[in-house]
Structure 1
């Protein structure tokens, strides 16, 4: 089956002008997303996850500058296929053609996304009226349907509520309803469950998954929570210091990770069956991108670093058709290095659990 590409990012490079100098925040990102699929972008804070997606939304902050690359987005208008390079569109074109209409974004904290002075009904209807000139009565009907779709009971009454009258979980559901109001092709979720408690978190993730199945939209999650990734993603891209250092399908990243940084992220996940009495942390601090990166940016924190890591940046080595990692440990001449023993036993436990669940 031929899969259809919705988003294709090539050689994206972005820097920010700061009082301390130029920060090279994104350094040659390459990513693909297909229709109906979910991609999770993971990594520590400051690795470039949100900046990459803000570039795709055309909402980079004013001190940001795209140095090179392309972000090709494909959608349908009047049953005709349209392909645009988002970086070539003006701010006005982004607002009228893409934002909210074709690509919608759910932000971390619903309270900062919602207007406290407007009823939630008016906020859901706003996009439909602005983008599609939907008559008010029709927009009202669709807004009620959307609230029901995202699991809000007594939707008609809730239309008249203001954001402060709703709980955190309900506000996040409203934000999802607003994002879906114009039938976007792509939904970007930036840490959509961070501000919520665990039970509500699981419901919101299940809800997004369910909506994706019904509406056949593509979803990108930006998160540092690998527990979330395991529940929702088809594919995973691991970012470090403005680059993708490993990518693959969710099973490859969780059961057969190859980059030492991915080993570190997986080892740092809390696990009730671990024999360690301490939670693992990756040594050192993230790379300072004010400085020019020589070789592998992860090298100073990597206990498996080779001499070459300090001099030459590793290319993406192919492991399978879908699995790639940028580490010199995958070079045929490199010494054989196995993942940490504690992580190996954790993965074995995860595989055993997955086998039991499958049965």
Structure 2
């Protein structure tokens, strides 16, 4: 890839001390984010998606501890290249130098992000006034422009509105406007459309894509909805039990998945064209991260598991220069196992549908 790298996570491991014992929530995560691209991190609840991005933002809860790893952020905002190791900053330094200013986050529920006692205009202006000491007049004018950018009609009139006077979709647009107010280089979206209905979801996704085209911002998307991923992502990382088990370009993950867990996630997507009467589910329960892992954490739920899966954790095998998967099925001595026939059919249909719509 010739694009500039803006974020590089290497060997990140995070644990949480709980009353039940130590939870190893993140176990050696490696990820890269490039200029102007969208990285989607997908997986079931509890796979470590949100903990990974909270580490980037420096907002881990008090019982969280980074055991190893680095998070390198390369800023080019000032015209020169500045490299910073985010894990070396204190929470206070993160708030002053990074959060909102260079890396901004849009959370799942807009009502938890907005102050119910302040007009939305003041909330959009707050970051600019704090980080850049922008004058009140300039901040006001930029806030109106941002409301217009995120598709809120009569933006000047809406500046005086309180969060409870807006619909869920409008509140989420306001949260995005706040996130963009200081021109960050990275926008992290943690399931930003989960609480919204389907038509509003589509509009919010289009909005973020549109803003990305206009500003060149890099985006990290956290989601368990593979339908969302198909619409927005350039690159996809699939997480399971605190590890990245497969990563690749969006089309590689959708059209040539190699990890049995990714097969399961794709098979579990609702499909109107299937003849199956029952929706596919991945058997068993997610791995309990209180337990020590011997071998592959997915082995107990994997009907394609080999004997070695119960003894040794698989390394990342290279499929292409951009596509990697952590499964022993890719070892040269492994038996030939391919994805389930039903999934092959589904992928074929997806490809034909994209082609008929004039896609690639």
Q: Work out whether the TM-score is over 0.5.
A: yes
Matched, 1:311 2:311: yes
Partner of 1:351: 351
Q: How far does the alpha carbon of each residue in 1:118-140 deviate from its partner, in whole angstroms, 9 at most, with x for none? A: 00000000000000000001000
CA distance in 1, matches of 2:104, 2:277: 42
Instruction: Report the 3-state secondary structure (helix = DSSP H, G, I; strand = E; otherwise coil) of the residue aligned with 2:28.
Output: strand
The separation in 1 between residues aligned to 2:202 and 2:289, in whole angstroms, is 35
Distance in 1, matches of 2:76 and 2:226, equals 33
Residue of structure 1 in register with 2:255 after alignment? 255
Partner of 1:221: 221
Structure 1: state its 5+ residue gaps: none
Residue 43 (structure 2) pairs with residue 43 (structure 1)? yes
TM (norm. structure 1) is 0.99
Q: Distance in 2 between matches of 1:39 and 1:275?
A: 33
Give the deviation of 1:295 after TM superposition: 0.4
Post-superposition offset of 1:77: 5.0
For residues 157-306 of structure 1, the aligned pairs below 5 Å read 157-306=157-306
> 1:78 and 1:41 mapped to 2: Cα distance?
29
What CA distance in whole angstroms lies between the structure 2 residues aligned with 1:109 and 1:2?
36
SS in 1 for 2:238: strand
CA distance in 1, matches of 2:281, 2:326: 21
SS across alignment from 1:65: strand
Q: What is residue 138 of structure 2 aligned with on the other side?
A: 138
Structure 2 match to 1:15: 15
Q: Residues 29-178 of structure 1: matches in 2 within 5 Å?
A: 29-178=29-178
Secondary structure of 2:292 counterpart: coil
How many matched pairs? Answer: 359
Local SS of the residue matching 2:188: strand
> 2:265 and 2:150 mapped to 1: Cα distance?
32
CA distance in 2, matches of 1:294, 1:198: 41
Q: Aligned equivalents of 2:76 and 2:323: distance in 1? A: 30
**Are the equivalent residues in 1 in contact too, given 2:77–2:185 (CA < 8 A)?**
no
TM-score, structure 2 as length reference: 0.99
| TM-superposed deviation, 1:76 | 2.6
Provide the secondary structure at the position in 2 that maps to 1:192.
Answer: coil
SS in 1 for 2:296: coil
Where structure 2 has 5 or more consecutive residues not aligned to the other structure, the ranges are: none
After TM superposition, give the deviation of residue 78 of structure 1 in Å: 3.2
SS at match of 1:300: helix
1:2 Cα deviation after fit? 2.5
Once the 2 structures are TM-superposed, how far is the Cα of residue 85 of structure 1 from its aligned partner? 0.6
| Cα distance in 2 for residues equivalent to 1:30 and 1:333 | 26
Displacement, 1:79?
A: 1.9
Cα deviation per residue 1:188-233 (whole Å; 9 max; x = unaligned)? 0000000000000000000000000100000000000000000000
Secondary structure of 1:80 counterpart:
coil
Whole-Å separation in 1 of the counterparts to 2:325 and 2:358: 28
Alignment partners' CA distance in 1, 2:338 and 2:146 = 49
Following the alignment from structure 2 to structure 1, what is the Cα–Cα distance between the partners of residues 297 and 4? 33
Cα RMSD between the aligned structures?
0.8
| Range moving further from structure 2, 109-118 or 78-87 | 78-87
SS at match of 1:51: helix
SS of the equivalent of 2:33 reads strand
Secondary structure in structure 1 of the residue aligned to 2:76: strand
Deviation at 1:92, TM superposition (A): 1.3
